[in-house]
Amino acid sequence: MLTLRPSAERGQADHGWLHSQHSFSFAEYHDPAHMGFGNLRVINEDRIAPGSGFGTHGHRDMEIISYVLSGALAHKDSMGNGTAGGKNAGVILPGDVQRMSAGRGVMHSEFNHSADQSTHFLQIWIEPNQRGIAPGYEQKHFDAADKRGRLRLIASNDGRDGSVTMHADAALHAGLFDGGESAQLVIDPQRRFYVHVVRGNLKVNGIELSGGDALKLESETQLHLDSGRDAEVLVFDLAR
């Protein structure tokens, strides 16, 4: 079964310094028909104005992935990331994938320090398969060439193929498609798949999607991507 989730039907929030589009219910946007999909709970497409950001706030028991499209996102947390002498610099750039396991509790902030460029990124929440773990952080860069015309694994439950490791029964692929480039994936009909077109245009199992559109796949055995026009896509393999 294929179910389209059009970009225009997403929740909207405009706080002046932040414009956000919510694929699933979040904050003031509540839609009982879109509370999540499998263990995927949040996809927020955020644009942060220059010199603005999210002040220090807390999370727990959630796997949080940040995927920057343009600009830079400065991350600082209670684990020491983003601070002088910390293990990680905490600045997330295009091509980077950051995974933060909130576990039993973490405080963090996210900021756009640029004076003239907005930060455009996706904030993704996936429900963990174990609660109360120690909070954790991981960040890796994936070159555009590594995603060109293929689906590159960028996050998984075991860190295989150089992906970041999520404490969740899920996997996340990213791809770039243009012209005659295509990819096909044999998928498990017992799992759920969510294809989110980040930007550009792309056909997914014969259905044309534009930036912000998504397609839910249930009880399907094949995923086929083609006819891309400057397309960037994320494919989620999810537990039911």
The residue written with tokens 């891309």 in the block is 228
Q: Residue 86: its pLDDT value, please?
A: 59
Structurally, what CATH architecture does the domain formed by 2-238 represent? Answer: Sandwich (2.60)
Q: Residue 190: its pLDDT value, please?
A: 95
| Helix (H), strand (E) at residue 147 | helix 144-147
| Tens of pLDDT, residue by residue, the chain (240 residues) | 999 999 999 999 999 999 999 999 998 999 999 999 999 999 999 999 999 888 888 889 999 999 999 999 988 877 777 776 556 677 889 999 999 899 899 888 888 988 999 999 999 999 999 999 999 989 999 999 999 999 999 999 999 999 999 999 999 999 999 999 999 999 999 999 999 999 999 999 999 999 999 999 999 999 999 999 999 999 999 998
Distance CA 114, CA 17 (A): 13
The tokens for 120 are 């455009």
The tokens for 31 are 């839609």
The residue written with tokens 């946007």 in the block is 29
Nearest CA-CA partner of 53 in 33, 26, 73? 73
Q: Domains of the chain: which residue ranges? A: 2-238
In contact, 208 and 201? CB cutoff 8 Å: yes
The tokens for 112 are 């756009």
Q: Residue 219: its pLDDT value, please?
A: 96
Maximum distance among all alpha carbons in the chain? 50
Q: Are strands 164-165 and 152-156 parallel, antiparallel or unpaired?
A: parallel
Nearest CA-CA partner of 73 in 108, 109, 111, 35? 111
